[in-house]
């Protein structure tokens, strides 16, 4: 089968999801595709360009279809959920995506869509940008934690079977007198309904933003 940029990106994404970014090497991808290492370079200029392709692939998974009948708050919610949904489809690839500058068309489309929505309901340029950034910050930050790589205690079953990740469950073993709440609430902290948590924060944000709007809208 012919080697293509698409197949190479797909192989990289598979490998990232299965073993993590650190396991990705041009040599391993080539092996997986039954080709020589150097063959990859006929379709992809470098490893970092390949990872950029992965990022673009992840972001192109965002479903932008909005219900124009819905309230603008619901449209904001839908957009935020679509972003989150695309990232969650490939959690480890999503980490790669949010760890590099956004330059691809797929990434900019998200920004464009969000700005359009906010401008259309009366937000000024400056506030529109700030609100979008706040939502992106929240969505990305939540996902980082959820995937188990950010502050806030490691939350769930690890994605891989690496011991390095498994050992993260050691909230037990903390000094309860130093961390009474963390130890006492470890059940709360460890096993979470991430979707419910996300909706909780999303509602707070939408509510906050919705209170902000009328004051500035013409």
Partner DNA sequence: ACCTGAACACCGTTCAAGT
Answer for which of 180, 191, 195, 217 binds a second copy (CB under 8 A) is 180
HSE, side-chain direction, 13 A CA sphere, residue 177? 0
Answer for which of 6, 39, 64, 216 binds DNA (CB under 7 A) is 39
24 binds, among DNA, a second copy, none (CB under 5 to 8 A by kind): DNA
How far apart CA 82 and CA 42 sit, in angstroms, is: 34
Rg (CA), the chain: 20
* Site track 11-30 with DNA (rule: CB under 7 A), x = hit: -------------xxxxx--
The candidate with the shortest Cα–Cα distance to 62, out of 5, 131, 113, 98, is 113
Helices 47-59 and 5-19, axial angle in degrees (round to 10): 80
The candidate with the shortest Cα–Cα distance to 157, out of 194, 200, 130, is 194
197 binds, among a second copy, DNA, none (CB under 5 to 8 A by kind): a second copy
* CB of 144 vs DNA, minimal distance in Å: 23
* CB of 6 vs a second copy, minimal distance in Å: 22
181 binds, among DNA, a second copy, none (CB under 5 to 8 A by kind): a second copy
Instruction: Give me the residues that bind DNA (CB under 7 A), please.
Output: 2-3, 24-28, 35-39, 41-43, 46-48
């Amino acid at each position: 089968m012919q080697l293509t940029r698409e197949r190479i990106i797909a192989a990289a994404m598979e490998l990232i999801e299965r073993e993590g970014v650190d396991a990705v090497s041009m040599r391993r991808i080539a092996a997986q595709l039954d080709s020589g290492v150097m063959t990859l370079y006929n379709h992809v200029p470098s490893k970092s360009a390949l990872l950029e392709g992965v990022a673009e692939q992840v972001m192109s998974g965002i479903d932008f279809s909005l219900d124009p009948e819905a309230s603008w708050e619901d449209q904001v919610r839908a957009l935020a959920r679509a972003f989150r949904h695309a990232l969650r489809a490939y959690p480890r690839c999503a980490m790669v995506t949010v760890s590099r500058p956004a330059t691809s068309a797929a990434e900019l489309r998200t920004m464009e869509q969000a700005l359009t929505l906010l401008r259309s309901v009366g937000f000024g340029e400056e506030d529109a940008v700030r609100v979008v950034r706040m939502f992106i910050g929240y969505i990305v930050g939540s996902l980082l934690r959820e995937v188990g790589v950010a502050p806030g205690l490691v939350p769930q079953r690890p994605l891989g079977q690496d011991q390095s990740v498994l050992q993260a469950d050691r909230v037990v073993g903390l000094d309860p007198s130093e961390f009474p709440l963390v130890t006492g609430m470890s059940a709360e902290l460890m096993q979470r309904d991430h979707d419910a948590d996300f909706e909780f924060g999303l509602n707070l944000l939408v509510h906050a933003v919705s209170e902000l709007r009328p004051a500035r809208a013409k």
